[in-house]
Structure 1
Amino acid sequence: MTYRPDETELATRLRVETAAGVAWRCLRCGDFTIGEPLGGGPADEAPVLLRGRALRDAMVLRLLALERLVRAVLLVLIGYAILQFRHSQAQAEDLFDRALPAAKPLADVLHLDLDSSPTVTHLRHLIYTQPKTLLLVAVLMFGYAAIQVAEGVGLWLLKRWGEYFAVVATSIFLPLEVYELTEHITWLRVAALAINIGAVVYLVASKRLFGVRGGHAAFEAERHSASLLEVDEAAAVPPAEPAADQDQDLAPAAKSGPAS
């Protein structure tokens, strides 16, 4: 990741003349690369490399993105299954009526009460629902999946709009998750609620969303400061004059063009 800062002093410390041509110091690894830099401009506009805190933030956001994308896949599969049951509701009812008694011996071993299970109750209501209602439920599933995909893409690409979208979309469904816990408490529901609340708090606080901790202006100032520190850190080590044998090693690299 080579960068030519507009500041003459920094630029001088980041470049070196070699027998193979001008080489620029990589902001990520510190090595010199023959050829023109990949970018240029003010030092505080230099790219923030994914290391240290920036790397940790990116890892958290992309883990959240993966969770959203996995959830979207599950919602699409459920919606598809509902559409299939809608066209063969009688077969689905017959399958459910035969499968439930067959599953009771295993449920007894695992100490599960299928008669009072909220999952079984929801499935029973769903299967015996009118076809028009099933179609509406499937559409809602696909719509919710689309929201999850938008969240996942925005977070994976580390876009600020994705952070805002994720906070708003997640917050909207928090009351529903709390209501589900009032009906029946399960570890899965508690974990899902904890993850979503944690994601909202983390995004709002760390990314300074909605004016928190100085808002967008403070976020941009922090980002620009980090960019300037990247250039300062790379330029802090004075470039040594390459030895003759190093120049010979760099010559073949000049033919292949810049790399970082």
Structure 2
Amino acid sequence: MSIDWDRRHCARKGHITYAPDEPRLKEKLHAPTAVGTAWRCLRCGDFVLGEPHGSGPADRAPLVPRGRALRDLFILRFLAVERVLRGLLVILAAWAVWRFSNSQDSVRELFDKDLTVFRPVARHFGYDLDHSPVVDTIQKTFDYKKSTLQKAAAGLGAYALIEVVEGVGLWFGKRWAEYLAVVATAAFLPIEIYELTEKISYFKIGTLALNVVAVLYILIGKRLFGLRGGHAAFEAERRGESLMEVEEAAGEHLGRGGADTAAGGAPGGPGKEPLPVRQRAADQL
């Protein structure tokens, strides 16, 4: 069952109507009813009773995302949430490393003290803390220079900032954020692949798969770096899907054909009878 992204979005955010100055186009986008004038929503195409939200030349009408554009925006926002959450977790890690660098000696003393207390208990259960890989790893961090830890914290902070900025940009559908997402994600793919060669886990596999799919989807679907016609083709596709552009193109085609079959029919476009259109508008009361 396919999702009607237009009506789904209108149900959550409300309709958007517009009254163009051009008579032919204006006739297609409004319908007089017994209970008032109804205007066609630029997103879902339904007629909505009441005054339009705006008016003016057709080329000044708001470019309302609809159809595939809405689906793409939903996917981008899913990726945006994932990026922001990841950025927040990395910020916490950067803060922890920075705090550790400023209190390295006290943390070492506390760790050694606790290790001395738990060593007999661990030995009782047959676990040798002195040769534990986890304990060895923690003890090695105590030997790191303070400057090294501070550089690591700065690196983590920069990475977190990139993730948060990328997430905010993707949420608002900014094209620069799509480029940033592709470049930043692709740059870390070799590291994720290397980590899988060291130790395989379902979490690492899932993260790698998500990032690969995200890169391919944004790269190809958004026509980045000149792919599939580049930015010009992307803008033409986006504008070609808008209701205003569709109705304008239909009007020009009918005008060239010498007969506008919708002139005596419904304002909603060719092939629609006036009664069902007006009935649908009245049903919205």
1:182 Cα deviation after fit: 2.6
Structure 1 match to 2:23? 8
Q: List per-residue Cα deviations over 1:170-203 (Å, max 9, x = no partner).
A: 1112222222223322222222211111110010
Structure possessing the higher relative contact order (Cα contacts under 8 Å, 6 or more residues apart): 1
Q: Distance in 1 between matches of 2:55 and 2:207?
A: 42
Q: Distance in 1 between matches of 2:99 and 2:59?
A: 58
Gaps of 5+ in 2: 1-15, 126-130, 251-266
- The more displaced of 211-220 and 32-41 is 32-41
Equivalent of 2:86 in 22, 47, 71? 71
**Which of structures 1 and 2 has the bigger CA Rg?**
2
Structure 2 match to 1:256? none
Q: List per-residue Cα deviations over 1:62-87 (Å, max 9, x = no partner).
A: 11111100111101101111111112
TM-score by length of 1: 0.75
Q: List per-residue Cα deviations over 1:21-55 (Å, max 9, x = no partner).
A: 754222336132322433554379652334x4233
Structure 2 match to 1:49? 65
Structure 1 match to 2:146? 131
Q: Distance in 1 between matches of 2:118 and 2:57?
A: 70
Structure 2 match to 1:183? 198
Question: Residue 80 in 1 paired to residue 113 in 2?
Answer: no
Q: CA RMSD in A?
A: 3.6
Q: Aligned partner of 2:50: which letter?
A: I
Structure 2 match to 1:34? 50
1:135 Cα deviation after fit: 0.7
Q: Distance in 2 between matches of 1:135 and 1:39?
A: 57
Q: Cα distance 1:192–1:124, how it changes in 2: closer, same or farther (>3 A)?
A: farther
Paired residues of 2:36 and 2:49 also in contact (CA < 8 A): no
Question: Residue 235 in 1 paired to residue 268 in 2?
Answer: yes
Q: Distance in 1 between matches of 2:132 and 2:201?
A: 16
Q: Cα distance 1:47–1:146, how it changes in 2: closer, same or farther (>3 A)?
A: same
Q: Aligned partner of 1:35: which letter?
A: E
Q: Cα distance 1:16–1:229, how it changes in 2: closer, same or farther (>3 A)?
A: closer
Q: Distance in 2 between matches of 1:54 and 1:10?
A: 23
Q: Aligned partner of 2:242: which letter?
A: S
Equivalent of 2:74 in 36, 53, 59? 59
Question: Residue 226 in 1 paired to residue 259 in 2?
Answer: no
Q: Cα distance 1:5–1:231, how it changes in 2: closer, same or farther (>3 A)?
A: farther
Paired residues of 1:47 and 1:227 also in contact (CA < 8 A): yes
User: SS of the counterpart of 2:39?
Assistant: strand
TM-score by length of 2: 0.69
User: Identical aligned pairs, as a percentage?
Assistant: 43
Equivalenced residue count is 236
Gaps of 5+ in 1: 109-113, 251-260
